[in-house]
Structure 1
Amino acid sequence: MPNALFVEIEARQSTTEEIRDFLEQALAKAQGEPDTRDWYAIRFDESHFGIFDTFDGAMGRIKHIAGAIGRGLVIKTVTSLHGMPHVSMSEIVAAIVPDPNAVPTVGTYVEIETRLGAGRDFGEALVKARENAASEADTLAWYALRTAKNGYAVFDTFPHEEARAAHLHGIAHNGVMEAINRFVDTPVVFRRFDIIASKQSGWIGISSAEQQVHSEQPVRVGPKTA
């Protein structure tokens, strides 16, 4: 089952560039993890950072958490971070995986909690939104994530700010917003980020189309042409 991991990190005021450097240098370690499909080190603002990565099974995620980057974060928690990192594990509901040669520089991360009982309907709306996102030439990667029974998130990347702005006025984003208006009562958390470093495998060899995130909802994972 394809899944993802999102780790939010807050640096102490005096260690922001130290954490940035740590994340930039962590790319080499991520590249050495064959089970880590895609890996992004991101920065929301001066002191808030994150890591988003994807896997085609739970074992890959476990190995990554126990690996060199995870161990390094444990040390940084003691020496350089403001509190513990916040970890969110999720299942991939639908995705556009990037070309390995794509160069993303910016992205958005949206956290959504549907009203009770509306999770399945909202998930189906995200699956439909994938088709619209695939039509956007400069949407390099797009992941719809199921974080809890009624919890979802969308993570996407772009080559430059103009592409991100176009996406936020485009049909895919508008479709997600329509679903939010129908199935969500609580505030949505919408955040922009810059990308510090990234690994993109293209998910070569993965066959996720027939796997199930949960009963009655198929996974849609693939390049734009899938």
Structure 2
Amino acid sequence: MTSKALFVELHAKSGREEDVAAFLKSAQSLVDAEPGTVTWFAVRFDKSTFAIFDAFDGDEGRDAHLNGKVAAALMANAAELLASTPQIRKADVLADKLSR
């Protein structure tokens, strides 16, 4: 059962909104290579507010993701693309509906 999740809200710098959108779209191929990531979403709320939501079967998958290529690329580009440091929120999943 999916038991762990992450929620990361991202605020793009003015003028870098489309760069953040492109970065998030390009990250999908990296996430596809992570067997411990059960589900992953990159979403946009408005012009400059984005988020990543992902879920895992346990701490091992979540930890691997946090130490993986997407997280490294996000942090390497954060100062250039983002108005503030990403706030990574760990969560416990209480219930889910996933097609597997």
More strand by share: 1
Structure 2: unaligned runs, 5 residues or longer: none
- Give the structure 1 partner of residue 64 of structure 2: 63
1:35 aligns with 2:36: yes
Once the two structures are superposed, what CA deviation does each residue of 1:74-130 show, in whole Å capped at 9, x if it has no partner?
A: 012111100101111111111111x3xxxxxxxxxxxxxxxxxxxxxxxxxxxxxxx
SS, match of residue 93 in structure 2: strand
Query: Sequence identity of aligned pairs in percent?
Result: 34
| TM score, norm. by length of structure 1 | 0.43
CA distance in structure 2 between the aligned counterparts of 1:88 and 1:35, rounded to whole angstroms: 18
**Shift of the alpha carbon at 1:6?**
0.6
Structure 1: unaligned runs, 5 residues or longer: 100-201, 203-226
| TM score, norm. by length of structure 2 | 0.94
- Give the structure 2 partner of residue 12 of structure 1: 13
How many pairs are equivalent? 99
Once the two structures are superposed, what CA deviation does each residue of 1:146-171 show, in whole Å capped at 9, x if it has no partner?
A: xxxxxxxxxxxxxxxxxxxxxxxxxx
The structure with more radius of gyration:
1
- Give the structure 1 partner of residue 47 of structure 2: 46
Pairing of 1:20-169 with structure 2 (within 5 A) = 20-97=21-98, 99=99
Amino acid at match of 1:79: E
CA distance in structure 1 between the aligned counterparts of 2:90 and 2:23, rounded to whole angstroms: 22
CA RMSD of aligned residues (A): 1.0
Q: Which runs of 4+ in 1 moved over 3 A?
A: none
Amino acid at match of 2:26: Q
